[in-house]
Amino acid sequence: MSFWWFWTQPPVVEEALDEDLPKIAEIQSSSFKHSWNVDELARMKAQDGVIMLVARRASPYGTRAPLGFVILRTAADEAEVITIAVHPRQRGRGIGKKLMEAGLFRLYAERCDHLFLEVDASNEAALLLYRGLGFKEVGKRKGYYSDSGGDGTALVMRIDLR
């Protein structure tokens, strides 16, 4: 019996649950030098205007643990990406793109006009993703990332949703 369909199903993106927070904290700490603990994530999740989405395997036979997550925050008619991360073993499979597309769809439905983010100028994979989704560079912040592989420059990017 073959289980090829088990590995080829695209992930499902849905609202993060409180029980997802330990796994989200694990993914976040494996992706960034500065990590957030479960309590910090819970406080963030409880804030008005915060949207926390997770990607999970689509198959009911696989784990329901998050493969990646995105945290967005809305204010009036604008929003920002607080952070996005995919588990290191799951990268390169389109999960980040799926998370961002779900976030964009959600923000569009909530009538946001623009979505902003900051990304390390040396993060080629992230830049490829964001530019592929239609984000445009609107500014730079020199020395923003102290633990950067490059010069620490953050690119400020925006996508117009309306």
User: Which active-site residues does the annotation give?
Assistant: 118, 130
Residue 84: strand pairing partners = 70
What is the helix, strand, coil percentage profile of the chain, to 5? 35, 30, 35
Looking at residue 65, what DSSP letter applies? S
Half-sphere exposure of 22 (CA within 13 A, CB side): 2
What 3-state class would DSSP assign to 116?
Answer: strand
What 3-state class would DSSP assign to 77?
Answer: coil
Burial class (CB in 10 A: 0-12, 13-18, 19+), 21: buried
Looking at residue 25, what DSSP letter applies? H
DSSP run (H or E) holding 8: helix 4-8
Residue 56: strand pairing partners = 12
